Structures are given as structure tokens and as C-alpha cells.
Amino acid sequence: MCTFAQQTQYVDFKKADVNVSVDIEKKSVSGLVTYYFDVLNAVDSVFVDAKNMSFSDVSLDGNEVEYSYDSEKLWIKKKFQPSKNKELSISFESSPTKALYFVEKGEESQVWTQGQGKYTSNWLPSFDDMNEKIEFDLSIAYDKDYEVVANGKLVNIEEHETTKTWHYNMDMPMSSYLVVLVVGKFNKQTLSSESGIPIELYYCPEDSLKVEPTYRYTKQMFDFLEKEIGYKYPWQVYKQVPVHDFLYAGMENTSCTIFSDAFVVDEAGFNDRNYVNVNAHELAHQWFGDLVTAKSGEHHWLQEGFATYYALLAEQDVFGENYYFWRLYEYAQELQMQDKMGQGTSLLNPQSSSLTFYKRGCWVLHALREKVGDVIFKQAVKSYLEKHAFGNVETADFISEVEVLCGKSLSEFVNLWIKNKAFPFEEAQRLLLKSPFIQEYEMVDCEAANSKCSYYLDSYVSDEAKIKIIQQKPELINSKTFNNSVKVRKAIAQVLATIPKHLKTDYESLLQDASYVTIETALYNLWSNFPEERQVYLNQTEAMSLKNEATRILWLVLVLSTPDFNQDEKPEYYEELVNFTSKDFNYEVRMSAFEYLLMLNACNEVCELNLEAAKNHHNWRMSKFAKEQMELLKTNKN
């Protein structure tokens, strides 16, 4: 029975007025949602997805109406004749266990949503079918000390005694999985795109100095993408909000991306892990995913492949062409490896890996552009967006635009790049070798006979080529090799676990680099290689360690393992290390602190309690880790 699978053929839901309040104590959401809809074809029932909710009132066109509920869908069973502007109002209360998360960050609370893959209908009666696009206008009441963010433009804020009600407005429709709600203590900076779209950058008040490195290149990439795509940014405003312990890197909710606060970085942290790629990726989704949405999982690459490709173009605008080809090179290597392991799939298989959807999808677009040329490619993308704006798409919708413009069939291309199970690695390799940078990288190979590796290492080859040499032949590293970029020096730090005496001074200079990863690696290796100088290294890095949690954890562990260093302060250092296991910190930071403490057999009562509590963490990586470690701890005790 799938009579109701395509409700969109009978009913068109057009607009939603959502009025909710969020109760952090009860971890619940309650309120009223009113849907405005047209009946297109006679039908004997209408449903709204709503998981495990309770309802106090349901009315149709202003009159209370009978409904049935099976804990998944709310049904109105009556004969609907074709008609316009009908109104369905639902008073509900939900206590979501997913899709909306209540998170503690120290003394403060955050609430944030994740619709894709989790279903917005876990907290708000809405539609799981991506083909149902609705203009959602959200109004949210919450504690007046907090900031509330949702899709669209902020219209006004109503002030009450202890709460504020935030009214947001959308003027175009979207799929329910793109509805967003964030509550937290935030400030924001506002930029403006060249086309006049306000770009709002949210941050926690204590992170004001990290705003620039975190959001670096935002405006440049926004302006670039608008021009490159050739279709005006489709929404009234663009917001980005970093949230605590997010499930993924980022999520492209319509007009409001949320991303992991692990990407909030300072100047040195920027060199280790930054938000630039995720920033560009989620922004590209505002067109590819939000404006045009895949009809089904089979066409998922139209979202992820396009977002990955356009993110790479935006990064090329910032970092140059070599960067662009380097990433394509890496993607091709990963895809070839996947095939070798027998895990390759057609791009149209809904069960494909993320690697396939994202990176093979990206490759399809690069190869297609190479084949048909810039002019046709760009025109096809523009027409595709214009034709299907605020609607749903499948692969043929895009391919046919290109075929019309180039006047011939692309079925051979589609078979090779999209339909076939195998990624066309040979063809990708041929396209890559158009780049002199890739040619050079391939040429530099220390394993080849007559290799000129030591010559290349001192010449002007790219950083990537130098890193390749260092990894293949660490013994070639000499004093001069240290006169290189932060990136190459990071590779030196990692490769030289055993530090030759004659490079000791050069290696020590790595402790000054603008990269926490380099500093941590160098500190650990120096501490291990030269025990007599442990105190010197710890003193040198103390100030730097205070700026980064991962660095601080390593520093504390080394201090606790260095008998003569600051003996009186050891109890405080230990307490500080244990504190990194608490819920105040990101799950990645906590996992690292737990690992060290368990390794040192030093997980005390506080640490154990934190580990026990982490078993119920909303992020599966954290909960899985906690469960495994707790088991190990028990086994070791017995």
C-alpha cells in the first residue's frame, strides 16, 4: 500500500505559520502550527508527519476536526474536493529525542536542530517528503537572555517579562528538512554581499577575536559564487551559526547554515583546521539542495556533488588553481582506492558512500565542463536553476539542459561518469595531467630509478611535492629543508619521530610555528628524544598551550609524566586535565582527555562519572567511545 506516498499529487501545502515555545527544563517544544494548502485532486484523507507528539487541538478551516494518529502521522480522514486556501491548525507538544537537541555548554544552554537524515517531524508537525515545499514562517518564544535564530529575515522581537518572541519571515518555499532553530548566547557581525544580501556571522561572546580567522574569505566566496553560478542568491539573508557538539561539519538549512564550533579558530588554529571549505560547501547548497532539491536519494549527487564542486571553485578563487587540482587529485585517489576495495557504486545508487556522492559528483562536473566548455556549462547550470527554482530535480533535468545547448547526446558521458560502478580513474588522470602542478607532483618520485629527489627538495617544486619527498625519504631532510612553509614544516615534524642530533636546533624551531598540530608533534617528539631537556621544552610551550585545548591536554600529560617539573602544582594540573573530560568541552577534546587519562591509569571518580554520562551523548562518536572505554575500564578492574 503506497496510496499516500505521493500526497503532493493531491494536496499542495504552501505556507506554514509556526508559533512555538521551547522549554529547556522539560526538553520539549509546544505551540501551534497552521498550514495553508490547496487540494489539487479529490482525495479522502490528508496527513502531516508528526512523530511521538501529543495534540490538544486540531482544526480545519477554523472548525475542530476529527483526526487519527498512529504516532508517526496525523491523519484527517474526510472527503476533500479540489479547493484553494484551506487551513489546517495543529496545537502540539513534542519531546524530541532527535532532530532537535538540548545541549549544555558549561553553565549555558544551546538548542539546535538537524533536519536532514533525522526528520524535522520529530519536533514540528511537517513533511518528511522533500518534494513538499513550504514557506515556513517561524515565531519562537524563549528566555530573554538568549538569542534565537531561525530561517529567513528577522521581522521583530516582542519583549515580555521574562521571555522574548522572535518573529522570522521567509518569502519562498523549502523542504521541511531545511527548517532550522538555534538558541544560544551569541553576538553577531554583519557583512553585506556585493549584491546587497546581509551576511550575518554569529559567534559566542568569548570568541570575538576568533571571528576573522573563523569566517575568513566569507564575503569573497559569497560574491564569487553568485557570479559563477549566474543565479542570484535565492534568499533574503544568509546566516552562519557555530553550535556546540554538532553532529556533522555543517548543515545548509535554508538561509541559515549551522556548523560545528570546533571550526571556531584563532590565527594558528586556522593553519590546522579551518572552516573555509565547509563555509563554501554549505553556501553552495543554498542553490544546490535548497533552491533545487533532489526528488529522491537516487539523485542525491545533485546536492552533494554540486556543493563539493562549487566549494572547490570558490576555494580556487581564494587559493589558486594548484589548490583546485590538488583537491581533485586527492578525490581521484580516494575514489580509486574505494574501487580497489570493491566498494565502488554507481553515482545513482542511493546507498552510495559520501565519498561517491560528494567527490565523484564533483568530478562529474569538472569532467563535464572540460568536455563542453565554460560557456555551455555555465549557461546549462543557469537554465537548470531557473527552470526548477523552488522545485525538485532529477539527474536528467540537469543533463538535458547541457544536451540542448551542445546539440548532442551525452549518454556515453553519463554512462562512463555517472551510471557505471567504476570511477573512470584513467580518464580522470588524463584530465589531471593538464595541470603543470600535477605533472610536477607525479614526476617527483623518490622510488623511481635515477630519482633526483634530493635536488628537487632544495629547488622550487610545490609544497605538496616537497612533502611527498619528505615522506618517501625522511633521510633527505637537512637544515635547509626547515626553510619552508608552515605546511612543509608540519610534515617534517610528523616524519621525524626520531630526531637526528645534528637537526636538533632546527627541529626545536618548530615549537614556534603558527600551527598547534606542529607544536604538539614537535613537543612530544622533542620530549621523547631529549629527556634531559624536558623542562626547557615544557617551559617554552606553556604560554602557547593555554591557547588551544588539544595542545593544553598534551602539555598537561607531559608535565604529569615529568617528575621534577613544577612538583607543587601537579595536583592542579591533574585536576585541569580531568576537567577536560567534562561536558563543557567539545566531544573531540573530551575523547582525547579520556584517552590520555585511561592510558595513564589515572581516570579518577570525576573522570569515570563523566565517562558514564557520555554514554548517553547525542553524538554517536562520543557515546560509542564512552561505552567501549567503560567496558575496558570494568574489565581492567576485575
**Contact residues: Zn ion, CB under 5 A:** 304, 307
Question: What's the min distance (Å) between Cβ of 475 and Zn ion?
Answer: 42
Question: What's the min distance (Å) between Cβ of 258 and Zn ion?
Answer: 13
Question: What's the min distance (Å) between Cβ of 311 and Zn ion?
Answer: 9
**Order of all β-strands in the sheet with 108-113:** 100-105, 108-113, 181-184, 147-150
Residue closer to Zn ion (CB basis): 181 or 311: 311
Cell triple for 259 = 556548523
Question: What's the min distance (Å) between Cβ of 172 and Zn ion?
Answer: 20
Q: With beta carbons less than 8 A apart as the criterion, state whether 466 and 441 touch.
A: no
Characterize the bridge pairing of strands 73-76 and 46-49. antiparallel
Residue closer to Zn ion (CB basis): 258 or 307: 307
Characterize the bridge pairing of strands 391-393 and 292-294. parallel
Residue nearest to Zn ion (CB): 307
End-to-end CA distance of the chain: 54
Give the CA radius of gyration of the chain: 27
Residue closer to Zn ion (CB basis): 381 or 522: 381
- Distance, in Å, from the CA atom of 53 to the CA atom of 30, rounded to the nearest integer, reads 10
Residue closer to Zn ion (CB basis): 304 or 317: 304
Question: What's the min distance (Å) between Cβ of 303 and Zn ion?
Answer: 6
Name the phi and psi angles at 165, rounded to 5: -115, 120
Q: With beta carbons less than 8 A apart as the criterion, state whether 168 and 128 touch.
A: no
- Distance, in Å, from the CA atom of 557 to the CA atom of 552, rounded to the nearest integer, reads 9
Cell triple for 58 = 486540531
Residue closer to Zn ion (CB basis): 359 or 617: 359
Residue closer to Zn ion (CB basis): 146 or 301: 301
Residue closer to Zn ion (CB basis): 304 or 403: 304
Question: What's the min distance (Å) between Cβ of 283 and Zn ion?
Answer: 11
Question: What's the min distance (Å) between Cβ of 106 and Zn ion?
Answer: 30
Q: With beta carbons less than 8 A apart as the criterion, state whether 234 and 332 touch.
A: no
Distances (CA, A) of 210 to 110, 248, 250, 267: 20, 21, 18, 8
Residue closer to Zn ion (CB basis): 184 or 305: 305
Question: What's the min distance (Å) between Cβ of 99 and Zn ion?
Answer: 18
- Element of type H or E holding 409: none
Residue closer to Zn ion (CB basis): 358 or 417: 358
Residue closer to Zn ion (CB basis): 53 or 307: 307
Q: With beta carbons less than 8 A apart as the criterion, state whether 636 and 598 touch.
A: no
Question: What's the min distance (Å) between Cβ of 307 and Zn ion?
Answer: 4
- Distance, in Å, from the CA atom of 611 to the CA atom of 301, rounded to the nearest integer, reads 38
- Distance, in Å, from the CA atom of 253 to the CA atom of 577, rounded to the nearest integer, reads 36
Question: What's the min distance (Å) between Cβ of 486 and Zn ion?
Answer: 28
Residue closer to Zn ion (CB basis): 105 or 239: 239
Question: What's the min distance (Å) between Cβ of 281 and Zn ion?
Answer: 5
Q: With beta carbons less than 8 A apart as the criterion, state whether 187 and 205 touch.
A: yes
Question: What's the min distance (Å) between Cβ of 179 and Zn ion?
Answer: 17
DSSP states along 577-617: HHHTTSTTS-HHHHHHHHHHHHHTT---HHHHHHHHHHTT-
Q: With beta carbons less than 8 A apart as the criterion, state whether 288 and 307 touch.
A: yes
Residue closer to Zn ion (CB basis): 307 or 368: 307
Q: Which residues contact 243 (CB under 8 A, 6 or more apart)?
A: 103, 110, 112, 182, 184, 258, 259, 260, 261
- Distance, in Å, from the CA atom of 459 to the CA atom of 501, rounded to the nearest integer, reads 25
CA angle 488, 494, 495 (to 5 degrees): 90
